[in-house]
Amino acid sequence: MKPIVILGIFVADTAYRAERQPKMGETILGTSFVLGPGGKGSNQSVAAAMASSGARVHFITRLGADAFADIAHATWAEAGVVPEVKVDSESYTGAAYIFIENATGNNAIIVAPGAAGRVSPEDVEAKADLIRSAAIFVTQLEQPIPAALRGLQIARVAGVTTILNPAPAASLPDEMLALCDYVTPNESEAEALTGLTVTSVEEAKLAAAALLSKGVGAVVITLGDKGALYHDARQSVHVPVISAGPVVETTGAGDAFNGGFAVALAEGRDVIDAVRFGCATAGISVTRPGTAPAMPARAEIEALLAQ
């Protein structure tokens, strides 16, 4: 199979659990702390590698030369991700502050991307042949947008299927959106792209239609506990959430979805089946703490879909 190529960032997640977030100037006691691998692109790479039954998953990024970089390489080696890394000794491997609310598992995040925040169009150009060889190219917005744009341009010219996960939320030029076969925002990201509030499936359809008018090929809006909406010029299909048990943490759910969705598309599945595969991947991930460590294996996803 042709590979899946993902451009993005790795950060070390520093995850804190507490009853609530502190106010400015306030110190509170937390209930737990975990240090582990994160970054949307890296998480999606791990999810895809774990979910894949044949396609190799390559991850393009920058790291510093430090202990957090060691965590990245160990994570990728365990999952089977092929690193395509430029070492940036003038910067540091990124880190993220993640607050997790005890009662709900909901989260708030601050990302300092470090070296990965210096990923350049030239870095992407250096991997152009790899991108051209891919079945699927995936990127997000944690690394600089010019790098993401260059990757989408290279993939589009080569006829590679492109997925943009527009996270964190940002407004984007129509010229960039028009390079995307699939755009996969959550509710808040869809609102940032369209100016339309998304709190229901019907509102998601309106936002998806607005994105199609900007040149996007198809839209998948992830809706948390309401599942996902797939919308293109021919059909609009709501895929309900696929539950694998009680929710423990939602931090990596979107990344799990994107990784699983990319794998299913690379395998030639029908697009609605690919959305269901992504929902199942996410449905398992939220039953576990952490981000990359929560990504399920292929056999687990298939077992959930078979139920």
pLDDT, tens digit, 9 for 90 and up, residues 114-170:
999 999 999 999 999 999 999 999 999 999 999 999 999 999 999 999 999 999 988
CB atoms within 10 A of CB 244: 21
Active site residues: 255
Q: What is residue 106's predicted lDDT score, i.e. its pLDDT? A: 86
**Which sequence spans correspond to the domains of the chain?**
4-306
Q: What is residue 142's predicted lDDT score, i.e. its pLDDT? A: 93
Q: What is residue 132's predicted lDDT score, i.e. its pLDDT? A: 98
Question: What sign for the dihedral angle of Cα 114, 257, 215, 56?
Answer: positive
pLDDT, tens digit, 9 for 90 and up, residues 57-73:
999 999 999 999 999 99
Residue 13 pLDDT exceeds 90: no
b/e sequence 55-83, b meaning 16+ C-beta within 10 Å = bbbbbbbbbbeeebbebbeebbeebebbb
pTM, to two decimals: 0.92
pLDDT, tens digit, 9 for 90 and up, residues 274-307:
999 999 999 999 999 888 999 999 999 999 999 8
What are 287's two structure tokens?
């039953």
Q: What is residue 289's predicted lDDT score, i.e. its pLDDT? A: 86
Q: In what order do the strands lie in the sheet with 107-114?
A: 32-38, 11-18, 93-101, 107-114
pLDDT, tens digit, 9 for 90 and up, residues 192-228:
999 999 999 999 999 999 999 999 999 999 999 999 9
Mean pLDDT for the chain overall: 96
Paired with 33 in beta bridges are: 16
Task: Give the whole-angstrom CA distance, residue 75 versus residue 43.
Answer: 10
What are 196's two structure tokens?
């339309």
Q: What is residue 290's predicted lDDT score, i.e. its pLDDT? A: 83
Q: What is residue 277's predicted lDDT score, i.e. its pLDDT? A: 98
Q: What is residue 80's predicted lDDT score, i.e. its pLDDT? A: 97
pLDDT > 90 fraction of the chain, expressed in percent and rounded: 90
Which CATH superfamily hosts domain 4-306?
Ribokinase (3.40.1190.20)
At residue 171 the predicted structure's pLDDT band, cuts being 50, 70 and 90, is confident
pLDDT > 70 fraction of the chain, expressed in percent and rounded: 100
Residue 17: its H or E element:
strand 11-18
